[in-house]
Structure 1
Amino acid sequence: MVPPLALDIDGTLTTPSGRIDARVFELLPEWDAPVVFATGKAFPYPVGLAHFLGRPEFVVAENGGIAYAQGETTVLGDPTAPRAVVEAFVARGGEIGWGDGDTVNRWRETEVALSRDADEALLREVAAEAEGRVEVVDTGYAYHVKSPDVSKGRALEHVAEALGLDVDAFVAVGDSENDASTFAVAGESYAVANADTTARDAADVVLNEAYMDGTASVLATLRERDDRGE
């Protein structure tokens, strides 16, 4: 049987322009094992992706702040300190950067995400004053202010337990520093070619192909192994 998957979304299931690659809709609906979407996005986004793929909604959202499987939501992150830090950042002249509406944070429950146009130096300065109660993670798409004890890897462990699986049965694919914790607990891990240094260093394999090209190559390899009975 093919293994269960833990897949990041942005930079992993997308094109270089940030769109969901059409091959997601060809390769994932019929994958014969659980697929967990593990993302920095707010909870509704990976749930929506699973829904439109016709797959069970197995989700790690907000960099591990929320885990969802078998109809149960587990909130692992506390938004109190992250929100206070961002309020202090704004009070000192910083801007969150998403413009009117801010749909990036509207449904976000456990952390705050800021545009990469935000003043990173000021943000990290304010975060440091919180004395270890928050950390800032640069995913390449946003700066996430979150609790330091929250991670995708920890949340994946919760989802695996809910599914009755060992977490090291999973194959993980990702591209960013927030995927390093997933790589640490999964049995096998791949960083796509566009991955940042932290993800590359944490992965078992760094792929030659970038974005969905890399992820598709992993899925093809896993299918071939299954066909050979390995």
Structure 2
Amino acid sequence: MSPPLALDIDGTLTSSAGGIDPRAFEALRGWDAPVVLATGKAFPYPVALCHFMDLPERVIAENGGVVYADDEVTVTVPDADRPREAAQAFVDRGGDLGWGAADTVNRWRETEVAVRRDADDALLRAVAEEFGLDVVDTGYAYHLKLPGVEKGEGLRAVAATLGLDPAAFVAVGDSENDVSTFEVAGESFAVANADDRARAAADRVTDGAHMDGTLEALAARRDR
């Protein structure tokens, strides 16, 4: 039997252009073990992706801030107001979150705030330090979040809900926010487009990038 999977989305299940690679649908529907989508995106996004992929809704969202499996939703952040307060301070001091008036990136976000990567990085990090927050660069956005909120802790929570050992999971990702997942999972793959921290933390780096790399990782584990 195949091992359970913990998969990042952006840069991992996507093409180089950024949209979901259609090959992900067939590959994951046919996987004969639990699949968990672990992302920095707001909670509704991975839930919707599970729905359209016809997968059970098993989700680690907002870099571990929200966890969902077997009809249990857990918000792991004790002080969700602090990132929002820091984001407002950033804006008040001349910063721009960068998503426009509707801000659908943060509209449904519960535990952190995402900021476009072309924002004033120095100002953002200064505000984050003042509020005791971390800034994580996922390659898609900067994330203002509380220290200790990690995808890896989300994987521990999902595994416990599913009655599985976290070390049974194979993780695939591409960014520094996947490092904690790699540390918790029993085996990890960084796709070829991964940043330096993810590459250094992974057990293996694939030859292929984006979905090509993910398919390479899945083939390696299915063939064992």
SS state at 2:105 partner: helix
Residue identity matched to 1:204: D
Q: Which residue matches 1:34?
A: 34
Q: Which residue matches 1:194?
A: 193
SS state at 1:106 partner: coil
1:175 aligned onto 2:174: yes
Q: Deviations over 1:148-185 (max 9, x none)?
A: 11000001100000000000000000000000000000
User: How far apart, CA to CA, are the structure 1 residues paired with 2:96 and 2:53?
Assistant: 35
Q: Which residue matches 2:149?
A: 150
Q: Which residue matches 2:47?
A: 47
1:100, distance to aligned residue in structure 2 (A): 2.1
Q: Which residue matches 2:110?
A: 109
Q: Which residue matches 1:97?
A: 98
User: How far apart, CA to CA, are the structure 2 residues paired with 1:224 and 1:149?
Assistant: 35
User: How far apart, CA to CA, are the structure 2 residues paired with 1:126 and 1:52?
Assistant: 38
User: How far apart, CA to CA, are the structure 2 residues paired with 1:221 and 1:7?
Assistant: 15
What is the identity percentage for the equivalent residue pairs of Structure 1 and Structure 2? 66
User: How far apart, CA to CA, are the structure 1 residues paired with 2:47 and 2:113?
Assistant: 19
Q: Which runs of 4+ in 1 moved over 2 A?
A: none
User: How far apart, CA to CA, are the structure 1 residues paired with 2:199 and 2:15?
Assistant: 19
Question: What TM-score do you get using the length of structure 1 for normalisation?
Answer: 0.95
Question: What TM-score do you get using the length of structure 2 for normalisation?
Answer: 0.98
User: How far apart, CA to CA, are the structure 1 residues paired with 2:123 and 2:80?
Assistant: 20
User: How far apart, CA to CA, are the structure 1 residues paired with 2:6 and 2:43?
Assistant: 16
1:125, distance to aligned residue in structure 2 (A): 1.0
Residue identity matched to 1:5: L
Q: CA RMSD in A?
A: 0.7
Structure 2 residues not aligned, in runs of 5+: none
Q: Deviations over 1:26-75 (max 9, x none)?
A: 11112100000000000011111111111110000000000000000010
User: How far apart, CA to CA, are the structure 1 residues paired with 2:145 and 2:73?
Assistant: 18
* Matched length: 223
User: How far apart, CA to CA, are the structure 2 residues paired with 1:64 and 1:31?
Assistant: 23
1:166 aligned onto 2:165: yes
